[in-house]
Structure 1
Amino acid sequence: MRRTPADSPERPEAGGAGLHVVVVGATGNVGTSVVSALSEDPAVASVLGLARRVPGWRPAKTRWRAVDVEPGGEDLVPLFTGADAVVHLAWKFQPTHHPADTWRTNVLGSLRVFDAVAAAGVPALVHASSVGAYSPGPKDRAVDETWPTHGWPQAAYTREKAYLERVLDTYELKHAEIRVVRMRPGFLFKRESASEQRRIFAGRLLPGRLVRPGLVPAVPDLPGLRFQALHTDDAASAYRAAVALPVRGAFNLAAEPPVDSDVLARLFDARSLSMPAGPVRAALAAAWRLHLVPASPDLFDAVLRLPLMDATRAREELSWEPLYTSVEAVGEFLAGLRAGAGADTAPLAADRTLRQRLDGLADRLVTA
């Protein structure tokens, strides 16, 4: 019998008809789509969204709590007690120059979440893994969920995702009573995530308004540049199904077709230019060392080595089918990038306009 806390007023009241779900990391690209999908599901009675900062966004059936999952943060057990499922999405991509910082949130924070799920007696844990957890693999055929998950050891993101796969291997043996689901999506895009993803991966060197057809002369055709993309809302529908259905194990999530230089060239109305990866990596590495771009060259290496995934299991066991093609998902993201799109949460905050930036700079000069 699950316990129900009496001292957590922010937590959705347990015991009512329907599912009570806690979403950890509820305000980012994936979190906002997952919360929306759950809040619109008649089978879900309540959603408790946990994030470092409470958003202004107020979806139906959802309450918020400001929580940091890092060691030393608030005890998670009272917040999880009485839940039917915990969906763990919290992840920190930066700073790539200080991987110990991301390790503290992504690995040690995840361990706190996993342990609290067990201590609170939550029957289901749905964890956000990634295509990045996979070992290097083929680009000419799709692999299923049995492909090795050792990541690419040089990149912090893939290293951390792979490490948590090993943690969950042991966790499932120790806690056989908990239904553990690992979601392994490809690259996730939506319009509202554009500003956040520009800040995380490209930084200030990529003015969003310039990423439009006709202004990009060529797209580099690099060896290994073939990856899978998915609209974030489609990924969220798979998460919702994993919460509700009695499934376990890993699920690949990807839409068709795979994205390569030809697909990107059509999106930009540009030509595809074949070139070796070395010069592109060298330029990225120099910019990263100078702190001009936040994405590390090691992540670039990982992307060129990621396998293509077979999403048959998700289609069959989750009755899942993406509504958007990969091209539509990337196209929507690019449109959001040009518009500086965002949403009413701290991670998804829209890019400020040039006028706002100049006004802010003038204010700082005056006060200085």
Structure 2
Amino acid sequence: MRIVVTGASGNVGTALLRRLTRLGVHDVVGVVRRPPRPVGVYEHVRWHSIDLAADDAAAQLRPVFDGADAVVHLAWGFQPTRNVDYLHRVGVGGTTAVLDAADATSVGQLLHMSSVGTYAAGRYGQRIDESWPTSGIPSSPYSRHKSEAEAVLDEYESDRGEGGVPIARMRPGFIVQRAAASGLMRYALPGFLPTLAVPLLPVLPVDRALCIPLVHADDVAAAVLSAVERKATGAFNLAADPPLTRDGVAKVMHAKPIHIPSGLLGTLVDLSWRTRVQPIDRGWLDMAFTVPLLNCARARAELDWRPQWSSMAALSDVLTGVAQQAYAESPPLRRRSMLEQLRRDLTDGQLTTRHLP
């Protein structure tokens, strides 16, 4: 099969390339803004440099998509959090460009990486299936954009019916892996805070009500490949068991849990973001405390999907990566350097505002 992957050098993309490299039977094309060096899992990929936020992105994508059996759309933006218009152009505009190009070239299948963030708030402890409303969490730009991107797909399917490109949608919980540790910390920690401080925290000051769906990137990659091979359509929830609680996080971190109400945490996160102390907006915290838990029965039945990593093992894997300062040889997942971040804050502007995080 000829498989085109947008965002192929990111968290899920790297895990998917690992899986495809082991198989060695597919022709893989990667579409990214900044192609990685051709080493490791990035070596046997034909790379194309395209910014999905560009006005002519769809036109640039058409010759790349031509003849593709499947397009796996993983590309998304997480920073700069202060430039919501740019993140909208990358996420929603990029999805629109991918869909337009896929339709123009009649690709065999489009697989869109959605998220648990596309869902409306859930009831505490209740698992929802894929029929739950996809209106998102209003205070989270990430969630709103994921919801809007799915609305673009809904409109296309409604207009084209069976004559359009078949579309599958993955809706995973929060995705982690060891190789993404440096990348995740770069986007989540202020530049002056050393990564090694995270696994050494003696206390975990979080609301006791925290309970989130988590999944390892390798398991998401397995579901993606299964959906492509089976030409599956429709939406699929993806999450590991058990749902991750505050006490579960504290156990993996060997930290003492301390109850801090989520409302107070939200205020602290918002104030520290507004004063540019740290790079994560309040919407991420609101999403963590309101997204529903996921019923993954459809993925088990139609994709024969069984996660190989429990949520606790997945969290342990990424925290081990944080402790070891693990990274991958791609621009999004490169080694996190305090000196580099501080230098770029001074020369290029802060992570939350500059165009190229």
Structure 1 length-normalised TM: 0.87
Instruction: Measure, in 1, the Cα distance between the counterparts of 2:23 and 2:228.
Output: 11
2:32 matches 1:47: no
Corresponding residue for residue 310 of structure 1: 295
**CA offset digits 1:270-326 (Å, max 9, x no partner):** 222223122212211111011121110122112110000011111111011111111
Q: Any idea what SS the aligned residue of 1:40 has?
A: helix
Corresponding residue for residue 15 of structure 1: none
Q: Any idea what SS the aligned residue of 1:23 has?
A: strand
**CA offset digits 1:229-280 (Å, max 9, x no partner):** 1110110010001111031100000001111111011112222222312221
2:215 matches 1:255: no
Q: Is the 8 Å Cα contact of residues 49 and 65 (structure 1) preserved in structure 2? A: yes
**CA offset digits 1:99-131 (Å, max 9, x no partner):** 111011111111011100000110200000000
2:255 matches 1:276: no
Corresponding residue for residue 317 of structure 2: 332
2:53 matches 1:66: no
Q: Structure 2, unaligned stretches of length 5 or more?
A: 348-357
What is the Cα deviation at residue 97 of structure 1? 1.3
Corresponding residue for residue 355 of structure 2: none
Q: Is the 8 Å Cα contact of residues 214 and 243 (structure 2) preserved in structure 1? A: yes
Aligned length: 339
Q: Is the 8 Å Cα contact of residues 39 and 62 (structure 1) preserved in structure 2? A: no
* Residue number among 196, 201, 215 corresponding to 2:183 in the alignment: 196
CA RMSD after TM alignment: 2.0
Q: Is the 8 Å Cα contact of residues 190 and 329 (structure 1) preserved in structure 2? A: yes
Corresponding residue for residue 13 of structure 1: none
2:197 matches 1:184: no
Q: Structure 1, unaligned stretches of length 5 or more?
A: 1-18
- More moved, 167-176 vs 215-224: 215-224
Q: After the TM superposition, which residues 13-32 of structure 1 pair with which residues of structure 2 at under 5 Å, given as runs? A: 19-32=1-14
Instruction: Measure, in 2, the Cα distance between the counterparts of 1:357 and 1:305.
Output: 31
Instruction: Measure, in 2, the Cα distance between the counterparts of 1:315 and 1:279.
Output: 38
Instruction: Measure, in 2, the Cα distance between the counterparts of 1:313 and 1:202.
Output: 36
Q: Is the 8 Å Cα contact of residues 20 and 26 (structure 2) preserved in structure 1? A: no
Name segments (4+ residues, structure 1) moved above 6 Å: none
Percent identity between the two aligned chains: 38
Larger radius of gyration: 1
Q: Is the 8 Å Cα contact of residues 181 and 322 (structure 2) preserved in structure 1? A: yes
2:200 matches 1:218: no
Instruction: Measure, in 1, the Cα distance between the counterparts of 2:132 and 2:92.
Output: 22
Q: Is the 8 Å Cα contact of residues 220 and 261 (structure 1) preserved in structure 2? A: no
Q: Is the 8 Å Cα contact of residues 23 and 35 (structure 1) preserved in structure 2? A: no
Q: Is the 8 Å Cα contact of residues 194 and 338 (structure 2) preserved in structure 1? A: no
Q: Which amino acid counterpart does residue 164 of structure 1 have in structure 2?
A: A
Q: After the TM superposition, which residues 355-366 of structure 1 pair with which residues of structure 2 at under 5 Å, given as runs? A: none
- More moved, 215-224 vs 345-354: 215-224
Instruction: Measure, in 2, the Cα distance between the counterparts of 1:285 and 1:102.
Output: 19
Corresponding residue for residue 346 of structure 1: 331
Instruction: Measure, in 2, the Cα distance between the counterparts of 1:194 and 1:274.
Output: 26
Q: Is the 8 Å Cα contact of residues 208 and 339 (structure 1) preserved in structure 2? A: no
2:17 matches 1:35: yes
Instruction: Measure, in 2, the Cα distance between the counterparts of 1:203 and 1:240.
Output: 35
Instruction: Measure, in 2, the Cα distance between the counterparts of 1:138 and 1:281.
Output: 19
Instruction: Measure, in 1, the Cα distance between the counterparts of 2:226 and 2:84.
Output: 33
More helix by share: 2
Give the direction of change, closer, same or farther, for the CA distance of 1:158–1:357 in structure 2 (3 Å limit).
closer
Q: Any idea what SS the aligned residue of 1:64 has?
A: strand
Q: Which amino acid counterpart does residue 28 of structure 1 have in structure 2?
A: G
Q: Which amino acid counterpart does residue 33 of structure 2 have in structure 1?
A: R
Instruction: Measure, in 2, the Cα distance between the counterparts of 1:108 and 1:357.
Output: 28
Q: Any idea what SS the aligned residue of 1:252 has?
A: strand
Instruction: Measure, in 1, the Cα distance between the counterparts of 2:215 and 2:194.
Output: 23
Instruction: Measure, in 1, the Cα distance between the counterparts of 2:341 and 2:74.
Output: 31
